């Protein structure tokens, strides 16, 4: 049995997992409409490639990935696109984002799709297929998987498959492992191939014995000799990528360092499953397992189409009337959703129907007494009380000195704080302020560059004009000198006189040859428009002359 | 009495020699401060500080000709950074110089007559267009300095505030649930 | 040897220049807003003071002698001003940042009453050369120690929710008072 | 929009402080047992003053009073101050000390959590410097004085300074064991014959050693319920033991045994209750040890050579000054940046 390591801190919130693991995964019926956001992943938003009114098939790409870090978005079922507009999405801010709304036609008609020959397709092709199939990390980070499978010429020793699922209430990975262990392992095998990893470790918390047994059975049955299922002690946040890597391999991946540089890479079990469906069966990511639990009559897991409105999904589980808020994710890191109409996205692993009884409103916060309980539980080994102290007084330089960006926002500190201080919100506030200042700084540097280049260009133009002028004068002087040599008697002002006459002659010839504007081939309305502009110009010129006359300022 | 004079003259001559020698040895050229101040300024080149751009204002501050609270786009934080850099007291904004929200210029293409006056006025070349052709402003490059508004003869440029969208949304400073009773 | 140690401990802790003898308050209040400024000022003052007390002993002992005693203060100030000017040039050359953050307080070391006070105390206590050097150095180290600690506290108080009328120098004065109260604990430690 | 996390571990500042107050009970009980109920009077007096001052300050600053009054921090400061001054101290001394501690040392800095100095010790320092004489009138334990002052007499003395007819102040009060030790040593007596004096029990002062043991028991309770960590008390007592041990080995006649120092004066209550005030002690493990060792050494120096009988208060205040600096320079390494990555 492999030696396990431990990480600093961690808390033990009540797990509340047994409510939603009693029944198997249920297939959610086709919803009335689908609201599919185009930005469901880290990186650039997908570009819509369908028009309103167009009929789309199930699995047809409706959003093309844009730029290096992006992912595709697909129609979850066949139907007609009724709108591509700004709709409320599942985001902290409660602000709208570009979504594609599809009304399903009930046929659920697949687009033609086929699996790939995994053995001899080059890995770059496989990655392109992952990108076009919209496969992203389903653990919650939604990072495009094609980028993560590229080891950037680092030697990967261990591939970690994350089945820890340490957050309370959430059981979607647990059920997925119990019912579809074989496919997960096939996906893990493909990922191991892509990363050329030597071994695969599957970390599952020991409060999920059935899942451990199912995965163990699948490993033996399909003879995955390079894989090993490890049962790790239940503690929040052991499911964090960095924390799980530390537990299984002892390697501490610092913040800002890519885990591939340390020879490790981590994927969620659901992501491995989707990799298998996308590459072996050519099915893009259209649906995912979502736990619906909390203030509902029968909590369970559903296989839900991406884009299903929240209200309809929650109605399936029998949401009780006294629900006041919907939380996407777990109680420790979840998002307080703005409204019930938002669509389920790739990141939605759990919906908790919250009620004042289930999650009582926080007691008013008292000042921090620096009791360092938060520092004792911080998995990133930071000093949350100092970070809070500097974030509260907007001293962002100091927060960065105390490694603010190492914070994984797991919420363990706020969980144990005896003064009920919303610590994580302070850190998120500080982070977004610092991001904004960095954006401003970049814009300011760009503006300085453009300004300095403009100054340069103006100087250069001035010099060129001066040279041209000087050069012309030299020529004129030389010509004048020749003329003077030819007719020495002409005095200095005669030469000027001759110059002026020449200039007048030249001006007359030019006036003769100038022809009116190119107004021959004009369509009627173009000429009407020009007339209107001419009229307006005239009015302005006469307005300008009036302005000059009675000295009233041109513009208020 | 005389010996007292000798003593004082002796000491001062000695010190004068030491200081003269060290002032030559420790010659410091240039003043690196200007770049540091310029790095803090927001580079909108808007001239609201009374100087034709951020660099001249930085030089003026370095020379001590002007105060540090004349840059509205820099905001209160800009003044705080300048105060820390120069080790002087923080001065709030004078009246009428309070900072406005960030905005971007926008040309109404119906009324633009293509006179290029705004292109010449823009300090960061953020306006695309040519004589008698349509003009438009590159929103990402515009610093919101409003220098293009006055020269426009047909007054077709308006300032549009940058709204809050999902990418530039920020977490709010958490007001601890009403710990401060009403005053 | 133990006598020198006693002088050193005496001047750094027991009768600390700032906290017990209440000398050198203006840089103590002015420069302690930021930690690096305080450290910079402390180092500069230590350099000036050690050199100053050494030089002032030499002047007092060899140049002035008993009959010219009335010149003590005048000559000390001239020497100290010279040393401060030299330090200012050195700092301006070595680290312009420090020169900028210290700003006006660097030339103000000349007027720091501790910098003139310690040589005069040396003369009064009839210290020999080594003792006055140690007394100067100890006094300056005490000054730096207390100022750096005070800067640490003030930086932390930046984030405190202090009533608005007490923000800034007012709370600094209160803190300095309480620090001086704590330093009274040392009284009687060294005769 | 609310930010996660939406659940919290049920714990609150008032619960923690309540546990610390409970941990003080054994010490107080022994105190009453050996020295009579006078201490209870000054504890209640200090508590009332503390709460009144806190309420007044909060009113001045337009802050809601309820959450702050119920967080028991002011109570803890009051109890610690009352326990470190003589039980028969006149009432106005207790009021002045507590009011100064709460108003200036705590609320001037912004209330709970922002004060650099330990309020109880500031109160003690102010009292010992302003009223040195009153601070030496400690009660003699019953066993010694043979005089059983009734509770009414004690009340009578505290509030209007009147003693029952035949008793004089000196008969019922004495200097602390530490103070007597210091004065006798200065008179040139050796430690052995000083220890033979009636006021000394096996370890230190007759009554006060048992009270110290009471506080030690309370402290261990705090340690095991993880309200405080071991770093501060262990490092402090070790430093005190080591320094006094060295001096004792060098010259046993003039320097008392380390155990004497442990169980006399405010060493025990200091180690477990005063130093471990979370607001005014460092937050990093290394910082806590440096802070406690510094306090230990300073306590011994002031006790052995300083002008004050017990150095605990001033040692705490002096080390409180260094806390921000200690915190800045003892920041532990962050996850993944410890080098080696293994």
B143 shares a domain with B107 = yes
List residues bridging with A103 in a β-sheet: A80
Q: Is residue B96 assigned to a domain?
A: no
The answer, yes or no, to whether residue A515 has pLDDT greater than 70, is no
Asked if residue B151 belongs to a domain, the reply is yes
The subunits that touch chain A, with at least 3 C-beta pairs less than 8 Å apart, are B, C, D
d(C-alpha B135, C-alpha B140), whole Å:
16
* Residues B75 and B106 both lie in one domain: no
Q: How many CA atoms lie within 13 A of A485 on its CB side?
A: 5
**Does pLDDT of B178 surpass 50?**
no
Record: contact B28-C96, CB cut-off 8 A: yes
Q: For chain A, what is the domain count?
A: 2
Of A99-113, A477-491, B42-56, the range with the lowest mean pLDDT is: A477-491
Show residues of chain C in contact with A395, CB under 8 Å.
158-159
Among A215-219, A393-397, A516-520, D139-143, the minimum mean pLDDT is found in A516-520
Q: What is the pLDDT of residues D10-61, one digit of tens each?
A: 888 999 999 999 999 999 999 888 888 888 988 999 999 999 999 999 998 8
Shared domain for A167 and A245, answered yes or no, is yes
Tell if the CB–CB gap between B22 and C68 is shorter than 8 Å. Answer: no
A330 & A209 share domain: yes
Mean pLDDT of A450-474: 93
Largest CA distance in chain A: 119
Per-residue pLDDT at A285 exceeds 90: yes
Domain that holds residue A348: 18-27+127-353
* Average pLDDT across chain D, whole number: 87
- Dihedral over Cα of A273, A276, A278, A281: its sign: negative
| Terminal C-alpha separation, chain D | 40
Q: Which chain A residues are Cβ-neighbours of B164 within 8 angstroms?
A: 93, 95
Whether B120 and B160 share a structural domain:
yes
Tell me phi and psi for residue B115, to 5 degrees: -95, 0
Position A547 scores a pLDDT of 62
Q: Is residue B124 part of a domain?
A: yes
Three-state SS across chain B? CHHHHHHHHHHHHHHHHHHHHHHHHCCCCCCCHHHHHHHHCCCCCCCCCCCCCHHHHHHHHHHCCCCCCCCHHHHHHHHHHHHHHHCCCCCCCCCCCCCCCCEEEEECCCCCCCCCHHHHHCCCCCEECCCCCCCEECCCCCCCCCCCCCCCCCCCEEEEECCCCCCCCCCCCCCCCCCCCCC
| A314-323, A455-464, A529-538: segment of lowest average pLDDT | A529-538
Q: Looking only at Cα atoms, what is the longest distance across chain C? A: 59
In this prediction, residue D342 has a pLDDT band, given cuts at 50, 70 and 90, of: very low
Neighbours of chain C (3+ CB pairs under 8 A): A, B, D
Rounded-to-integer distance, Cα B172 and Cα D110, Å: 23
The verdict on A187 and A333 lying in the same domain is yes
* Same domain (yes/no): A168, A203: yes
Q: What is the mean pLDDT of residues B134-161?
A: 89
A225 assigned to some structural domain: yes
C-alpha angle with apex A263: A258 to A266, nearest 5 degrees?
65
Separation between Cα atoms, residue D175 and residue B109, nearest integer Å = 94
Banded pLDDT at D341 (limits 50, 70, 90):
very low
Does B161 lie in the same domain as B105?
Answer: yes
Establish if A58 belongs to a structural domain. Answer: no
Q: Which of residues 72-131 of B touch A (CB under 8 A)?
A: 113, 123-126
* Residues of chain C with confidence (pLDDT) below 50: none
A310 and A433 part of one domain: no
pLDDT confidence bin for A555, thresholds 50/70/90? very low
* Token pair recorded at residue D166: 């035949």
Q: Report the pLDDT value the prediction gives residue A549, as an integer from 0 to 100.
A: 52
CB contact under 8 A, D335 and A368: no
B30 has a pLDDT exceeding 70:
no
Positive or negative torsion for Cα A71, A77, A82, A88: negative
pLDDT in tens, A39-62: 999 999 999 999 999 999 999 999
Chains contacting B (3 or more CB pairs within 8 Å): A, C, D
Q: Check whether residue A220 and residue A344 sit in a common domain.
A: yes
Please check whether residues A381 and A445 belong to one and the same domain: yes
Contact with chain D for residue A403, Cβ under 8 A = yes
Return the pLDDT at A241. Answer: 93
Mean pLDDT of the region D257-267: 87
Q: CB within 8 A of A426, min separation 6: which ones?
A: A387, A388, A391, A392, B174
| Nearest residue in B to C92, CA atom | B28
Task: Please tell me whether residues B65 and B120 are part of one structural domain.
Answer: no
* CB-closest option in C37, C63, C100 to B86: C100
D136-150: average pLDDT: 71
Q: Select the residue from A258, A371, A424 to test the D interface by mutation, using most D Cβ atoms within 10 A.
A: A371
Instruction: Give the residue numbers spanning the domain of B160.
Output: 101-166
Q: Which CATH number do you get for residue B134?
A: 3.30.70.20
- Give C3: exposed, middle or buried? Use CB within 10 Å, 0-12, 13-18, 19+: exposed
What was the pLDDT predicted at A381? 93
For D252-271, what is the mean pLDDT? 87
Global model pTM greater than 0.80: yes
pLDDT in tens, B53-106: 888 888 888 888 888 888 888 888 888 888 887 777 888 887 767 777 888 999
What is the domain count for chain B?
2
pLDDT at position A467, please?
A: 94
Task: Please check whether residues A387 and A344 belong to one and the same domain.
Answer: no
Q: Using a CB-CB distance cutoff of 8 angstroms, which residues of chain A are in contact with residue D65? A: none
Give me the pLDDT at residue C97, please. Answer: 78
pLDDT at D88: 81
Q: Which residues of C touch A (CB under 8 A)?
A: 156, 158-159, 161
Three-state secondary structure call for residue A34: strand
% residues pLDDT > 90 (chain D):
48
Position A81 in a domain = no
Domain edge (last residue) among A460, A479, A496 = A496
Token duo for residue C47: 């350099």
More confident residue, A380 or D157: A380
Confidence band, pLDDT 50/70/90 cuts, at residue A164:
very high
Q: What is the mean pLDDT of residues D1-9?
A: 83
- Examine the domain organization and report whether B82 and B118 are in the same domain: no
Residues of chain B with Cβ-Cβ distance to A451 below 8 Å are 43, 45, 53-54, 123-124
Burial class (CB in 10 A: 0-12, 13-18, 19+), A448: buried
Nearest to A91 among B143, B155, B166 (CB): B166
pLDDT above 70: residue D301: yes
B141·A537 Cβ contact <8 A = no
| pLDDT of B172 above 60 | yes
Alpha-carbon dihedral of residues D322, D323, D324, D330, nearest 10 degrees? 100
Structure tokens at A373: 């309980």
How far, in Å, CA of D62 to CA of A265, rounded? 54
Distance from CA of D70 to the nearest CA of B (A): 14
Nearest-by-Cβ selection for B23 from C75, C81, C89: C89
D65 close to A (CB below 8 A): no
The per-residue pLDDT for A552 is: 46
At A350, give phi and psi (nearest 5°): -160, 145
Separation CA A386–CA A407 (nearest Å): 13
User: Does B38 contact A448 at a Cβ distance shorter than 8 Å?
Assistant: yes
Cα distance between residue D313 and residue C185, in whole Å: 8
Q: Which of A353, A388, A413 is the last residue of a domain?
A: A353
Rounded to an integer, the average pLDDT of A196-200 is 92
Average pLDDT, integer, range B6-11: 86
The DSSP line for D321-340 is: HHHHHHHHHTPPPPTT-SSS
Query: CA nearest A174: which of A222, A219, A206, A135?
Result: A206
Query: Are A462 and A348 found together in one domain?
Result: no
Q: Which residues of C touch A389 (CB under 8 A)?
A: 156, 159
Give percent above pLDDT 70 in chain B: 92
B179 and D CB contact within 8 Å: yes
Query: What is the mean pLDDT of the segment spanning B38-56?
Result: 85
Contact A555 B113 (CB under 8 A): no
The answer on A284 and A255 residing in a single domain is: yes
> What mean pLDDT is predicted for residues D301-309?
87
Smallest Cβ–Cβ distance between A451 and the set B53, B155, B169 belongs to B53
Distance in Å, alpha carbon of D63 to nearest chain B alpha carbon:
5
Residue D340's pLDDT is 55
* Amino acid B48: pLDDT: 83
Q: Which two tokens stand for residue A131?
A: 């990108």
CB count in 10 Å sphere of residue B12: 14
Question: Are β-strands A158-163 and A264-268 bridged in parallel, bridged antiparallel, or unpaired?
Answer: parallel
Mean pLDDT over the full length of chain A: 89
Q: Crossing angle, helix B33-40 and helix B54-63, to 10 degrees?
A: 130
């Amino acid at each position: 049995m492999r030696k396990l390591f431990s990480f600093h801190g961690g808390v033990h919130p009540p797990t509340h997992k047994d409510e939603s693991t009693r029944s198997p995964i249920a297939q959610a019926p086709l919803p009335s409409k689908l609201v599919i956001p185009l930005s469901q992943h880290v990186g650039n938003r997908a570009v819509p490639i369908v028009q309103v009114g167009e009929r789309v098939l199930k699995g047809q790409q409706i959003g093309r990935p844009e730029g290096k870090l992006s992912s595709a978005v697909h129609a979850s079922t066949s139907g007609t696109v009724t709108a591509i507009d700004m709709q409320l999405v599942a985001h902290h801010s409660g602000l709208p984002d570009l979504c594609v709304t599809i009304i399903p036609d009930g046929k659920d008609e697949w687009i033609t799709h086929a699996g790939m020959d995994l053995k001899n397709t080059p890995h770059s092709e496989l990655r392109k297929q992952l990108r076009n199939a919209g496969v992203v990390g389903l653990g919650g980070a939604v990072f495009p998987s094609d980028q993560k499978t590229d080891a950037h010429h680092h030697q990967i020793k261990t591939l970690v498959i994350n089945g820890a699922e340490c957050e309370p209430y959430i059981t979607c990975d647990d059920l997925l492992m119990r019912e579809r262990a074989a496919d997960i392992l096939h996906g893990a095998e493909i990922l191991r191939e892509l990363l050329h990893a030597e071994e695969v470790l599957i970390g599952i918390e020991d409060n999920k014995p059935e899942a451990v047994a199912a995965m163990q059975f699948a490993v033996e049955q399909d003879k995955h000799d390079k894989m090993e299922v490890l049962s790790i002690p239940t503690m929040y946040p052991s499911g964090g990528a960095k924390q799980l890597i530390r537990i299984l391999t002892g390697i501490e991946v610092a913040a800002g360092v890519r885990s591939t540089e340390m020879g490790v890479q981590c994927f969620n079990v659901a992501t491995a499953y989707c990799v298998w469906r996308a590459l072996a069966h050519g099915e893009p990511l259209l649906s995912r397992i979502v736990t619906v639990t909390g203030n509902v009559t029968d909590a369970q897991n559903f296989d839900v189409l991406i884009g299903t409105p929240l209200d309809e999904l929650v109605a399936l589980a029998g949401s009780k009337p006294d629900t006041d808020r919907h939380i996407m994710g777990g109680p420790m890191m979840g998002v307080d959703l703005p409204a019930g109409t938002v669509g389920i996205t790739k990141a939605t692993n759990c919906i908790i129907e919250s009620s004042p009884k289930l999650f009582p409103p926080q007691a008013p916060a008292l000042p921090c007494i620096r009791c360092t309980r938060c520092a004792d539980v911080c998995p990133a080994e930071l000093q949350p009380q100092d970070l809070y102290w500097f974030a509260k007084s907007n001293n962002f330089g100091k927060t960065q000195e105390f490694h603010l960006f190492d914070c994984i926002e797991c919420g363990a500190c706020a969980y144990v704080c005896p003064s009920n201080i919303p610590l994580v919100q302070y850190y998120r506030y500080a982070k977004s302020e610092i991001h904004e200042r960095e954006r401003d700084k970049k814009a300011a540097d760009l503006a300085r560059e453009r300004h300095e280049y403009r100054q340069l260009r103006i100087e250069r133009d001035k010099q060129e004009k001066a040279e041209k002028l000087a050069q012309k004068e030299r020529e004129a002087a030389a010509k004048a000198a020749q003329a003077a040599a030819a007719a020495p008697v002409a005095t200095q002002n005669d030469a000027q006189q001759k110059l002026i006459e020449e200039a007048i002659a030249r001006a007359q010839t030019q006036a003769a040859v100038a022809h009116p504007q190119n107004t021959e081939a004009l369509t009627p309305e173009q000429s009407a428009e020009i007339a209107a502009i001419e009229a307006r110009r005239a009015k302005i010129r006469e307005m300008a002359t009036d302005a000059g006359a009675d000295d009233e300022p041109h513009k208020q | 009495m005389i010996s007292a004079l000798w003593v004082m003259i002796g000491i001062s001559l000695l010190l004068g020699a030491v200081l003269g020698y060290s002032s030559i040895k420790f010659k410091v050229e240039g003043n690196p401060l200007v770049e540091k101040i310029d790095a803090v300024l927001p580079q909108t080149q808007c001239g609201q500080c009374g100087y034709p751009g951020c660099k001249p204002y930085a030089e003026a501050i370095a020379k001590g000709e002007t105060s540090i609270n004349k840059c509205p786009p820099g905001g209160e934080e800009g003044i705080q950074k300048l105060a820390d850099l120069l080790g002087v007291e923080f001065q709030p904004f004078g009246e009428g110089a309070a900072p406005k929200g960030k905005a971007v210029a926008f040309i109404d293409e119906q009324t633009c007559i293509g006179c290029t006056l705004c292109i010449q006025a823009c300090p960061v070349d953020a306006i695309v267009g040519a004589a008698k052709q349509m003009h438009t402003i590159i929103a990402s490059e515009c610093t919101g300095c409003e220098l293009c508004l006055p020269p426009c003869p047909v007054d077709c440029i308006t300032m549009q505030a940058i709204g809050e969208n999902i990418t530039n949304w920020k977490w709010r400073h958490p007001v601890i649930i009403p710990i401060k009773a009403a005053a | 040897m133990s006598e020198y140690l006693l002088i050193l401990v005496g001047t750094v802790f027991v009768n600390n220049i700032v906290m017990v003898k209440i000398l050198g308050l203006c840089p103590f209040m002015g420069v302690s807003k930021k930690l690096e400024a305080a450290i910079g000022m402390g180092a500069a003052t230590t350099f000036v003071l050690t050199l100053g007390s050494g030089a002032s002993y030499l002047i007092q002992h060899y140049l002035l002698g008993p009959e010219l005693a009335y010149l003590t203060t005048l000559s000390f100030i001239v020497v100290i001003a010279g040393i401060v000017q030299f330090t200012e040039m050195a700092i301006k050359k070595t680290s312009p940042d420090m020169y900028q953050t210290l700003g006006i307080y660097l030339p103000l070391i000349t007027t720091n009453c501790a910098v003139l006070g310690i040589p005069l105390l040396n003369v009064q206590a009839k210290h020999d050369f080594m003792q006055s050097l140690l007394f100067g150095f100890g006094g300056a180290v005490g000054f730096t120690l207390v100022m750096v600690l005070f800067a640490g506290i003030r930086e932390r108080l930046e984030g405190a929710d202090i009533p608005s009328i007490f923000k800034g120098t007012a709370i600094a004065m209160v803190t300095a008072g309480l620090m001086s109260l704590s330093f009274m604990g040392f009284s009687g430690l060294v005769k | 929009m609310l930010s996660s996390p939406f659940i919290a571990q049920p714990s609150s500042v008032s619960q923690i402080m309540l546990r610390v107050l409970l941990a003080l009970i054994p010490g107080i009980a022994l105190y009453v047992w050996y020295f009579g109920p006078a201490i209870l009077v000054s504890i209640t007096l200090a508590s009332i003053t503390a709460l009144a001052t806190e309420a007044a300050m909060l009113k001045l600053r337009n802050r809601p009073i309820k959450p702050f009054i119920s967080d028991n921090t002011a109570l803890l400061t009051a109890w610690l101050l009352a326990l470190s001054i003589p039980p028969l101290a006149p009432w106005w001394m207790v009021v002045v000390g507590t009011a100064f501690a709460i108003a200036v040392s705590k609320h001037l800095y912004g209330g709970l959590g922002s004060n650099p100095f330990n309020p109880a010790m500031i109160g003690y320092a102010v009292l010992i410097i302003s009223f040195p004489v009153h601070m030496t009138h400690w009660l003699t334990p019953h066993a010694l004085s043979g005089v059983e002052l009734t509770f009414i007499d004690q009340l009578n003395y505290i509030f209007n300074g009147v003693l029952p007819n035949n008793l004089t102040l000196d008969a019922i009060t004495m200097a602390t064991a530490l103070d007597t030790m210091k004065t006798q040593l200065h008179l040139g007596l050796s430690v052995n014959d000083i220890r033979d004096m009636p006021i000394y029990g096996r370890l230190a002062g007759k009554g006060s050693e048992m009270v110290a043991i009471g506080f030690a028991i309370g402290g261990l309770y705090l340690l095991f319920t993880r309200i405080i960590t071991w770093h501060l008390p262990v490092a402090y007592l070790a430093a005190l033991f080591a320094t006094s041990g060295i001096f004792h080995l060098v010259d046993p006649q003039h320097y008392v045994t380390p155990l004497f120092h442990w169980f006399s004066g405010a060493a025990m209550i200091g180690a477990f209750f005063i130093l471990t005030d979370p607001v005014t002690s460092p937050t990093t493990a290394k910082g806590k040890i440096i802070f406690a060792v510094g306090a230990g050494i300073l306590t011994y120096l002031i006790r052995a050579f300083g002008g004050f009988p017990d150095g605990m208060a001033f040692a705490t205040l002096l080390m409180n000054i260094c806390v921000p600096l200690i915190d800045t320079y003892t920041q532990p390494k962050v996850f993944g940046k410890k080098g080696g990555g293994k």
